[in-house]
Amino acid sequence: MELFENTAEQAFRNEVRRFVDTKLPADLRDKVMNFVRYEKEDFQRWHRIIAARGWAGPNWPKEYGGAGWNAIQRKIFDEECFLGFAPRLIPHVNMICPVLQRYGTQEQKKRFLHRIWPLEDWWCQGYSEPGAGSDLASLKTRAERKGDRYIVNGQKIWTTWAHWADWMFCLARTRFEGRPQAGISFLLIDMKSPGVTVRPIISLDGVHDLNEVFLDNVEVPLENLVGAEHEGWTVAKFLLGHERTDLAGVGVAKRFMRFAKQLTRTVRKHDPLMRHRLATLEIDLLAHEWTVMRVLSSDEAGRDPGPAASTLKISSTELQQDIAELMMEGAGPCAVPYVDAARERGWAGSLPRDKVTNAASANFLDWRKVTIFGGTTEVQKNIVAKSVLGL
């Protein structure tokens, strides 16, 4: 494993950096740099700019319209997008695409894959339920087979961007006896289907990203089953492995470190304790990045990340929370008078300092979620304990 980029990788990083510098619209960059809330069209516009460059689907095979990059190239691309203050790429894209590549029928691949990257179809993830979040095998949503379709009833929760979504990849129980993991199927649900109701959940920072989704006698054609019936748990675990590897978050952590330094320079530049904390977190970030490089080397060799994906999820999310906390501390008392309206497009009022300082406390509250979604830290530690320590 190499901890440092070779000449070709450095050249690729420079290419991506130039692309972001020249092609990212100024209004999108301004939104990101000032913590202004994104709209659906913002994400779509950036995805399509990348697609026009021929870089759609960084980790997809070229045969499905992807860039066909290796793991190191994907890491570089992700970092440079974050460091260039681009909107984040929609994570569900890199969840459903690998699933369809591996488990989808030829008809499913032909129907969906070319529409995923440019966000012509927006996907959401129907996994968690009110009584089945970390214990996903306890899900209660039912899919009963009747003729040529399933009839789905249940509730999903914490469904990110469901209010924008065209499709949901959903786990539902199709068999009700035996081990709970053995009776789950992986279904693709059209969000325009009769019986689908989406209700908003407003998060601590005042943002509407999350939703409840109610499924009342929703009809799903049999051809929307991915993989074998009752064996959706295998598909779900495969997807979660990609999700947790994507949550390694080196790029977003580096972006947050820039914000933390900016706040420290402008508000608490003479505080030696803040400088010490910045240095400590930079060391932690470097150690995390090297761990990511080790996992990516395994990926390049064709090995499943296994429990290493859980390790990355733990270290990444805790690091992101530490940096978000440092941002708030760097803002000091100026973080207290939070003006929610300042994060809306077109707001022209005045603030005690600037929009980054204003958003520091809300950002801190929002990032408490990262040790919960994608599998809680406690669950990840249990996975590591069983897989590595044999406990």
Domains and CATH numbers, the chain: 7-89 (1.10.540.10), 123-231 (2.40.110.10), 247-387 (1.20.140.10)
- pLDDT for 300 equals 62
**Chain length of the chain:** 391
Mean pLDDT value across residues 312-326: 92
Let me know: does 196 contact 185? Beta carbons within 8 Å. Answer: no
- pLDDT for 132 equals 86
Let me know: does 373 contact 367? Beta carbons within 8 Å. Answer: no
Let me know: does 27 contact 34? Beta carbons within 8 Å. Answer: no
Model confidence band, residue 302 (pLDDT cutoffs 50, 70, 90): low
| Better-predicted residue by pLDDT, 345 or 2 | 345
Q: Does 139 have pLDDT greater than 90? A: yes
Tokens standing for 282? Answer: 């930079």
Q: Does 57 have pLDDT greater than 90? A: no
Count the alpha carbons within 13 Å of 313 in the hemisphere toward its beta carbon.
Answer: 29
Model confidence band, residue 246 (pLDDT cutoffs 50, 70, 90): low
Mean pLDDT value across residues 78-104: 91
C-alpha dist (Å) from residue 142 to 121, 154, 160, 168: 25, 6, 21, 15
pTM of the predicted protein model: 0.88
Q: What is the mean pLDDT of the chain?
A: 89
- pLDDT for 3 equals 65
Model confidence band, residue 319 (pLDDT cutoffs 50, 70, 90): very high
Rounded to the nearest 10 degrees, the angle between the axes of helix 26-33 and helix 40-52 is 130
- pLDDT for 310 equals 79
Mean pLDDT value across residues 321-327: 94
- pLDDT for 304 equals 64
Model confidence band, residue 181 (pLDDT cutoffs 50, 70, 90): confident
| Better-predicted residue by pLDDT, 285 or 383 | 285
Mean pLDDT value across residues 60-72: 78
Q: Does 82 have pLDDT greater than 70? A: yes
Mean pLDDT value across residues 332-359: 89
